[in-house]
Amino acid sequence: MKVSPKTGSRSPARQFAVDTLQLAELQVELLRTDMRGAAKTSGRGIVIGLVSACLLLAATPVLLLAFAEWIVMAFELPHAASLAVVGAVTVVIAGVLLSVAYSTCKHATCYLNRSREEFLRNLEWFKTTLSTDSETESHEARPNYPR
């Protein structure tokens, strides 16, 4: 059922195509915005993780051995015991730093939930539009997005 160009109204198929393109544009813009937020938030976690890894790799051997020697002198413990104590404390500190980095990166994924929810709503609208026979029903089911 095509309408003449003089009336200016669109056929249901053409209206659906226009609505689909508009929704696709909005979905891409939303995803772009969400990705920027996720990248900004996860950046902190990545930096914290990299800093903690660099610190562990660069200064750890010298500092740990020096700390173990101090424990030997201060508490008169055997070398093996002081090295074990220092190693355990180091593992705990590294674990805490990596936990903070992980939780910060995990928090960044909540930005993407908005895009996912909007995409699922759009898919539901497409299903509703495709399953209805009349133009009136499909336009009533369509979300009201600005044009």
pLDDT in tens, 24-34: 888 888 888 88
> In 76-109, which ranges are continuous DSSP H helix?
79-108
Round to the nearest angstrom and report the end-to-end CA distance of the chain. 24
SS3 at position 143: coil
> What is the maximum span of the chain, computed from C-alpha positions, in angstroms?
99
Residue with tokens 């929810």: 117
pLDDT digits (tens, 9 = 90+) for 57-90: 888 788 889 999 999 999 999 999 999 999 999 8
Q: How far is CA 12 from the centre of its chain?
A: 37
Half-sphere CA count of 89, side-chain side, radius 13 A: 13
Question: pTM of the predicted model, to two decimals?
Answer: 0.46
Q: Is 7 exposed, middle or buried (0-12, 13-18, 19+ CB in 10 A)?
A: exposed
